[in-house]
Structure 1
Amino acid sequence: MLMMENIVRDGHPTLRMVAEEVSMPPSDDDKQILANLLEYVINSQNSEIAERYGLRPGIGLAAPQINVSKRMIAVHLTDEKGELYSYALFNPKIISHSVEKSYLKSGEGCLSVDEPIEGYVPRHARVTVKGYDLNGNEVKLRLKGLPAICFQHEIDHINGVMFYDHINKEDPFKPIEGAIVIER
């Protein structure tokens, strides 16, 4: 089981690297790493398990965050309608996106960033993501709202990008014109 001490923190060089593609079909080792990422986000949202093991709650985790520079992400969250998005993906990529933007009103956080970094993070309002599940089957997802933001955040990780790279440095809370505001 992954613990907080397995998660590398801001400043670690792996977080700034473009991660390598995972060969398909995935090896047993790669499958185990990906399964561990999903297990962490699920466990971290269970208050009893999180308290027992000192896990910070998260809705997504990428392999570079555990010092594995491979293109793997896990996401576990519910949207505003209560629909569950629980995915562990190899080689996820955004294959299309809206011009329209959105952002989380509360800002974004990250398990690899200990201190809060305030500001609006502009994201695409809608994205289509393609990747491969634990068994190597192709998965294609059309996402909007919080799931779209979360997937973009995690895909940024495998490209060496941190969420705060998108924040307007001069005016972190400058309204993003025409963007959809996502409450969380």
Structure 2
Amino acid sequence: MAQQPVFDQDDEQQVNDGFVDDITDADAREKAHRERGTSRPITVVGNPVLHKECKDVTEFDDKLAQLIDDMFASQRTAEGVGLAANQIGVDLKVFVYDCMDDEGVRHVGAVCNPVLEEVPVERRVLDDSNEGCLSVPGAYAPLARPDYAVVRGQDAQGNPITVRGTGYFARCLQHETDHLYGYLYIDRLSKRDRKDALKQMAEREPRYPVVAND
């Protein structure tokens, strides 16, 4: 997921309330991943890997750990707040995030095989803020999403984890989970808004390396 434009631990443990602690040592954990990783170019809308459901992660090994490191490096290069594996051309259900919530708290982590929980009606408050995507570079559009999200999945070692987000971070969790099931945020827009987003993309040069669609 792309950061909004400004105008004017590897061994993550569940905390007492059942949600992963993705706040403690966020800076150090992100830096360690990024420094071990190699930045890769970002795949963009139209690339087939972005438009189908990814395969489940079944092997929690050194290869997966390296992929996660590369994803953090790629995310930093592209100045994003979230990145799914298929955005660097890898057909696996894993995403990483380095995202602030609306209270300014930084969350850093990785989720394999994520499943988004349905938000109870009494907790469902829609936020129609702008949304962007590293795979639709330079484009932004308002998209209504719940301002609270819970994702269940596994960490890099295969342990079950649950991640909770509010506000902007909730949007990030929903956005990245969507990616792994073959959906871009523009797929949730009206035909008119989708066309406008693609026009924005066509008119702007990406700020980071991308994979051209042949």
TM over 0.5: yes
Cα distance change of structure 1 residues 136 and 120 upon mapping to structure 2, 3 Å threshold: same
- For 1:139 and 1:163, how far apart are their aligned partners in 2? 25
TM-aligned CA deviation for residue 159 of structure 1: 0.5
The alignment's C-alpha RMSD in Å is 2.0
Instruction: Give the TM-score of the pair, scaled to structure 2.
Output: 0.66
Superimposed CA distance per residue, residues 127-162 of structure 1 (whole angstroms, 9 cap, x where no aligned partner)? 211111122221112222111100110001000001
Partner of 1:8: 43
Cα distance change of structure 1 residues 66 and 167 upon mapping to structure 2, 3 Å threshold: same
Partner of 1:182: none
Q: Is the 8 A contact 1:102 1:123 kept in 2?
A: yes
- For 1:171 and 1:65, how far apart are their aligned partners in 2? 22
TM-aligned CA deviation for residue 115 of structure 1: 3.6
Q: Is the 8 A contact 2:153 2:161 kept in 1?
A: yes
Partner of 1:34: 68
Cα distance change of structure 1 residues 37 and 98 upon mapping to structure 2, 3 Å threshold: farther
Identity in percent? 29
The more displaced of 126-135 and 143-152 is 126-135
Among 52, 73, 81, the alignment partner of 1:59 is 81
Q: Which amino acid aligns with 2:62?
A: D
Q: Is the 8 A contact 1:101 1:122 kept in 2?
A: no
SS at match of 1:35: helix
Q: Which amino acid aligns with 2:127?
A: Y
- For 1:152 and 1:6, how far apart are their aligned partners in 2? 23
Q: Residues 113-124 of structure 1 correspond to what in structure 2 (within 5 A)? A: 113-116=136-139, 118-124=140-146
SS at match of 1:86: strand
Q: Is the 8 A contact 2:102 2:169 kept in 1?
A: no
TM-aligned CA deviation for residue 31 of structure 1: 2.0
TM-aligned CA deviation for residue 33 of structure 1: 0.6
Among 186, 199, 202, the alignment partner of 1:164 is 186
- For 2:111 and 2:138, how far apart are their aligned partners in 1? 28
Structure 1 unaligned spans of 5+: 45-54, 173-184
Q: Is the 8 A contact 1:102 1:124 kept in 2?
A: yes
TM-aligned CA deviation for residue 168 of structure 1: 2.6
Superimposed CA distance per residue, residues 7-37 of structure 1 (whole angstroms, 9 cap, x where no aligned partner)? 111110000010011015x122122112321
TM-aligned CA deviation for residue 75 of structure 1: 0.7
